[in-house]
Amino acid sequence: MSTACDQGGGSLRGDWLEAADCKHIGDTKRFEPFELSLEFANITEKLDTALIRMSPSARLIDQADQLIIAVDRTDPVNEGLAANGAFTLKLKGDGSGDADLTLGLLGRCTHASQALAAEGTLTLYDYGWKQGERMRGEMAFDLVDRRTGAIVGANFVGDFDFESLTSSSLTAFSPRDY
């Protein structure tokens, strides 16, 4: 089931980020500070996994910066939220954590080839992908280049709060994409 969360928003901010091959192959662009508004979200849930995408707009996926969260097991998340009101997932730059958070710079860096992955935490306060439910959380992490393990961004913090909307016309980001 794919759900768009077009009601709400959030933000992501880091002290700095170095993006290799941003506008031209071989060039590095430094964003200091790095800021990303999160105005649009999409959740795709299948069985016990979830893919959450957040972006500053509903532009085509390959034309927008985006924050992507992959959760391999949603049952522990739902159980933790029910028991404690919050659930914290560990993020590992090598993808071995409780969730995998990556950052794609396809909007601002046309040639970006780095695999930017988070090393830190993601805390969920609400995780809902059905009509009218909320998806709300906050995150704190550093970014690493998954290929080399080098830190390429520091002191990222962010939050988000969206209300889920479901419809057969809602797609990976927006009906406007297709």
Residue 1 CB burial class (10 angstroms; 0-12, 13-18, ≥19)? exposed
Q: Quote the pLDDT of residue 58.
A: 72
The pLDDT of residue 178 is 34
Which residues, 6+ apart, have CB-to-CB distance to 48 below 8 Å? 72, 73, 74, 75
pTM of the model: 0.86
Model pLDDT, residue 170 = 52
Report pLDDT digits (tens) over 105-155.
988 887 777 789 999 999 999 988 778 888 999 999 999 999 899 999 999
Instruction: Kindly give the parts of the chain with pLDDT less than 50.
Output: 1, 173-178
